[in-house]
Chains A and B, each alone.
Chain A
């Protein structure tokens, strides 16, 4: 996968001639007000719904996709290990060969000691970690995340932001991250695609060329604040033009 060009349009309702590119290994955020079709765009990329117009181009083939939903979406009847194993099970992998991969995936998100726990025994943040571990277990080329931390408290959220960045730097997979938080998108991404609402379309792109690793020092830096202001202004303009045909 080398520079993915996607163009899709979808009626007048959700997305209108949405057009942007994502390069391999890149961390891109889709930022926009709620109802702007960010999630719809993500689902179309994942193949979970179809674009009514336009196409998605995959110059280097689509490959494996991992998806993290807004809710942890774990199977309550299965323990964490079995939940993480699910993509492998569905692909027909046998139990024994999966075991090491599952352990590795759980270690990556810091849940190694909770393999036997059931989802209801975990906190919201830990459930989300399990959900991320499941998305990573197939080593997908592309990781799609649909406001995964929106329901978490700020402390947990910051922690997961840092851990997600660490995982991303280790694996170097492409991430498309949907969020409605300016601060989160600036902290995480290399590039932010700002969308307008109703109909959803790309309003502008902002590159966040601050170096990684980013940590709490970055979060409190003037540079970070500057990016946030810039992105917030763009988002403000995007919302002002939103609703126009």
Chain B
């Protein structure tokens, strides 16, 4: 019990200590060397900018988050759906899997400009978020569906389970841990996809997401706002990660080893 307590204190306390020290050094360096804000703004100025430009940045954050969320949702549906389809039909898997891989290994930064030509800008951003995010869901779910316990498969066969029962009662629950791991990766990646596409679209001017704000502030040498937007973006990433980890933990805590604390 005491061990668990002190471990928890360290887990939360140490990162806070590190960031406090880091921010202080950052502040000191800017002060001591009198660095002008357009080269490196101090933490105080970044925070002040965040407050001052709060409304603008907040709206942009919402735009980016909405894209991220939509991309994530599509990736989840697409990835899981495709994995189930692959699992049901070997022919479909053989025909399509190589192209899923190709889509994944081609850098999204290179695809984004092309998508922006063919699709209206919001749709292109969404497509980017989807392309980066869906593969880990597909790959992990496929792995999960294929690693079902062989004896349990035999048991289902013995009781003459239908294809649907096999999928619903055995394969999907058994693939859940891997599926959730894929979704956790996809959450972060769809944010990255959205940001990459917004940056690529930046010069097109129509965008108003957070990444677009960063690009725009860069052109205007508004470095403090760049930092403020970046801060928001990484906070959003952290929030997504924690939200998905929490969901995963809730769904697995009763039965999966990964979510159960080891007894000592």
Contacts and interface: CB of A to CB of B under 8 A. Distances in A.
Interface of A: 43, 46-48, 65, 67, 69, 71, 73, 75-78, 86-87, 89-91, 118-120, 138
Contact of B169 (A43, A47, A73, A90): A90
Interface of B: 149, 151-152, 154-161, 165, 169-170, 173-174, 176, 254-257, 260
Given A118-B255, A120-B255, A75 B170 contact: yes
Interface of A is mostly: loop
Closest 9 CB pairs of A and B: A73-B151, A90-B159, A76-B255, A77-B173, A69-B151, A90-B161, A77-B255, A87-B159, A48-B154
A227 to B, nearest CB: 32
Contacts of B170: 75
A67 B255 contact: no
Contacts of B260: 120
B173 A67 contact: no
Nearest to B156: A90
A77 B174 contact: yes
B165 A90 contact: yes
B204 to A, nearest CB: 47
A67 B158 contact: yes
A71 B176 CA distance: 22
Contacts of B256: 76-77
B151 A65 contact: no
Given A77-B176, A120-B260, A65 B255 contact: no
A120 B262 CA distance: 12
Contacts of A87: 159
A90 B160 contact: yes
A115 to B, nearest CB: 14
Contacts of B174: 75, 77
Nearest to B151: A73
A146 B151 CA distance: 11
